[in-house]
């Protein structure tokens, strides 16, 4: 009987831990909400394009247009890319502090 009870408690604890990891942090930018994983991917893409901006300063104005055209950009950014002022929103998302966002200590991050 004690073994069954112990096993049930272990299974319950594992279930609760897996539920805690299933919570997905969201980042809000204006009317748009994005997953933290997608924002991380956006940051990777903008970092790779910033290398090009250092080499050619004329690319700075088109860097976010090129990010929107990149097939690696998560699809959830496409509605934002179609909006006027998308480069400003994307630049703000590209500077979201991911480590602080993961613990929901940043105002734009929710879902912890």
Q: What is the pLDDT of residue 3?
A: 59
Q: Is residue 13 part of a domain?
A: no
Higher pLDDT among residues 101 and 22, named by residue: 101
pLDDT value at 59 more than 90: no
Q: Is residue 9 part of a domain?
A: no
Whole-prediction pTM: 0.68
Q: What is the pLDDT of residue 102?
A: 80
Q: Measure CA 9 to chain center.
A: 34
Q: Is residue 6 part of a domain?
A: no
Mean pLDDT of the chain: 75
Q: Is residue 17 part of a domain?
A: no
**For 5-26, what is each residue's pLDDT tens digit?**
444 444 444 444 444 445 688 9
**How many separate domains does the chain show?**
1
Are 99 and 15 within 8 A, CB to CB? Answer: no
99: which 2 tokens?
């480590």
pLDDT value at 2 more than 60: no
Range of the domain at 64: 25-110
End-to-end CA distance of the chain: 37
Q: What is the pLDDT of residue 29?
A: 92
Q: Is residue 58 part of a domain?
A: yes
Q: Is residue 38 part of a domain?
A: yes
């Amino acid at each position: 009987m004690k073994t069954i009870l112990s096993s049930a408690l272990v299974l319950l604890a594992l279930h609760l831990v897996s539920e805690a990891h299933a919570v997905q942090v969201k980042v809000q930018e204006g009317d748009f909400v994005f997953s933290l994983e997608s924002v991380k991917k956006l940051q990777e893409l903008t970092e790779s394009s910033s290398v090009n901006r250092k080499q050619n300063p004329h690319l700075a104005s088109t860097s976010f247009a090129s990010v929107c055209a990149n097939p690696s950009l998560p699809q959830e950014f496409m509605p934002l890319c179609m909006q006027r002022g998308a480069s400003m929103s994307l630049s703000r998302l590209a500077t979201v502090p991911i480590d602080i966002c993961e613990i929901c200590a940043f105002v734009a991050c929710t879902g912890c």
